[in-house]
Amino acid sequence: MKKLLPLLFIVISANSFAQTDSTFIRKIYDEALEQGESHKNLRSLCKDIGARITGSAEAQMAIKWGEKLLKSYNFDTVYLQEIKVPHWERGTTEAAWIENEDGEIIKLDILALGGSVGTNGLISGEVIEVSDLKALKQLTEDDVKGKIVFLSQPFDKKNIQTSKSYGACYPIRGLGTNEAGKLNARAVVIRSLATPEDDFPHTGTMSYDTDVNKIPGAAMSTNNATLLSNWLKKGKVTLKIEMDCKTYPNVTSYNVIAEINGKDDKVITWGGHLDSWDVGEGAHDDGAGIAHSIEALRILKKLGYQPNHKLRCVLFMNEENGNMGGKSYAKIVSEKKEEHICAIESDRGGFLPVGFDVNGTNEHLKMVQSFETLLSSFELYRFRKGFGGVDIGPLKEYYPNMIQLGLAINSQAYFNYHHTHNDVFENVNKRELELGSAAMASMIYLMDKTLE
């Protein structure tokens, strides 16, 4: 009987710890759902600040907003981390229309791609439709010179995970204008990277090689893209477009950081990005992630949790068009010789959370999957290898052995709003946002208790 006592003690202790964790996680969810402040905070960010593209006055306002809000919660430390960021402005509203051989004219819903050059007045060109980036690379200068290239690749609607469709189409947005410039095209317009057929164009970042002929790049709504494809089947189409966007010299900006001290100085970082595109209100992308991240730290403090490690919430600046917030943060903390053991990101919208993606070793994955018993009653059930996030990604260069996690959400509606005028506060569900905050706080708690 005596030989069984140590084993019995281990089993009883393990069950006791599991019960303690379950009770605390229940308290996290109760606080988020009954006394939560994430929805209120998101409304303030969206309505009091609005769209906040890097380098803008609104981005600077958002920094002040974040700093003041974090200080109001009396965390152990709140501070700004200085960084250098790019500065691109859309300028006046874009205008474009198409005309067919019968003289019919249709106005287009378009947005300049982030980082594009302007048109320097109204420009015009015959449209040539190209299915995707691979097909564009197979063309010659004789095929496209002086023409406006229309990249028409649609989302693959068969993909259950909409991010896979986005990833497949990303090259037409990020690289298409650059490739067409090499062939001396006049401009590029792309079918928006979006799930639905609607009238909202989706902007997003693109880039040029340093020595390429820089031509304008824009996105049109999916409805317009379908219409243009149909017109081109019947004959020649001319597109006219005017954009006034411009890139300015880099400016000084800041990551906004709040901390609760732990028993040691090992760091668990989490956050979202404070910047957004300059259309809509950046509600899902990534106001929701900001609201999740602040609320997670608030809840842990409110419940009196005493962490083992330093808990650090970071509101990153400039994820959308450069990721200088994430890159600078990783470089700065590594130079300070900080020890980082975990990073978590929320940047997939304020929709219903379903689990976490794990960027780490097989052992890390098994550890996270072991939490399923605790979290399944809160309908968190998807724990698998995947992507952590753009902002926390650069930390892996300096801390290759750390675990990174990305909050996974139901993605079906995300690309209805992504980078559009339609990404506004009213399109975020209060309860789903609160559940995301509770999921973040719960995983931070479990990582802090589990990691040494």
Return d(Cα 204, Cα 174) in angstroms, integer. 8
Assigned token pair, 252 = 């000084």
Assigned token pair, 187 = 């401009």
Return d(Cα 417, Cα 293) in angstroms, integer. 21
Q: How confident is the model at residue 92 (pLDDT cuts 50, 70, 90)?
A: confident
One-letter amino acid at 356 equals: F
For 147, residues 6+ apart whose C-beta sits below 8 A from its C-beta are: 125, 126, 127, 128, 185, 186
Q: Please, what's the b/e burial string for 216-230 (b: 16 or more CB within 10 A of its CB; e: otherwise)?
A: bbbbbbbbbbebbbe
Task: Specify the pLDDT at position 17.
Answer: 54
Q: How confident is the model at residue 20 (pLDDT cuts 50, 70, 90)?
A: confident
User: Which strands form 403-409's sheet, in the order they lie side by side?
Assistant: 77-89, 246-260, 310-316, 267-273, 340-345, 403-409, 353-359, 382-385
Instruction: Decide if domain 91-244 falls under CATH 3.90.1490.10.
Output: no
Give the tens place of pLDDT for each residue, 292-321: 999 999 999 999 999 999 999 999 999 999
For 360-448, where are the E strands, in sequence order? 382-385, 403-409
Return d(Cα 395, Cα 405) in angstroms, integer. 12
Residue 349: what are its φ and ψ, rounded to 5°?
Answer: 100, 170
Return d(Cα 343, Cα 270) in angstroms, integer. 5
Do the domains spanning 27-88+249-450 and 91-244 agree at the CATH topology level? no
Return d(Cα 50, Cα 247) in angstroms, integer. 21
Q: How confident is the model at residue 71 (pLDDT cuts 50, 70, 90)?
A: very high
Average pLDDT for the chain? 95
Q: Does 12 have pLDDT greater than 90? A: no
Q: CATH: 3.40.50.1980, 3.40.50.300, 3.40.630.10, 3.30.420.10. Which one for 27-88+249-450?
A: 3.40.630.10
Q: How confident is the model at residue 177 (pLDDT cuts 50, 70, 90)?
A: very high
3-class DSSP assignment, residue 205: strand
The domain locations on the chain are 27-88+249-450, 91-244
For 402-445, where are the E strands, in sequence order? 403-409
Q: How confident is the model at residue 4 (pLDDT cuts 50, 70, 90)?
A: very low
The arithmetic mean of pLDDT across residues 387-415, rounded, is 97
Give the tens place of pLDDT for each residue, 248-286: 999 999 999 999 999 999 999 999 999 999 999 999 999
The arithmetic mean of pLDDT across residues 158-174, rounded, is 97
The arithmetic mean of pLDDT across residues 35-51, rounded, is 98
The arithmetic mean of pLDDT across residues 351-360, rounded, is 98
- Per cent of the chain over pLDDT 90 is 95
H or E segment to which residue 176 belongs: helix 176-182
Task: Specify the pLDDT at position 6.
Answer: 46
Assigned token pair, 231 = 């017109």
Task: Specify the pLDDT at position 219.
Answer: 98
Give the tens place of pLDDT for each residue, 334-348: 999 999 999 999 999
Please state which of the ranges 16-20, 252-256, 323-327, 413-417 shows the lowest mean pLDDT. Answer: 16-20
Q: How confident is the model at residue 3 (pLDDT cuts 50, 70, 90)?
A: very low
Q: Does 387 have pLDDT greater than 60? A: yes
The arithmetic mean of pLDDT across residues 378-400, rounded, is 97
For the purposes of burial, counting CB atoms within 10 Å of the CB of 142, is it exposed (0-12), middle (13-18) or buried (19 or more)?
exposed
Give the tens place of pLDDT for each residue, 202-242: 999 999 999 999 999 999 999 999 999 999 999 999 999 99
Q: How many CB atoms lie within 10 A of CB 413?
A: 18
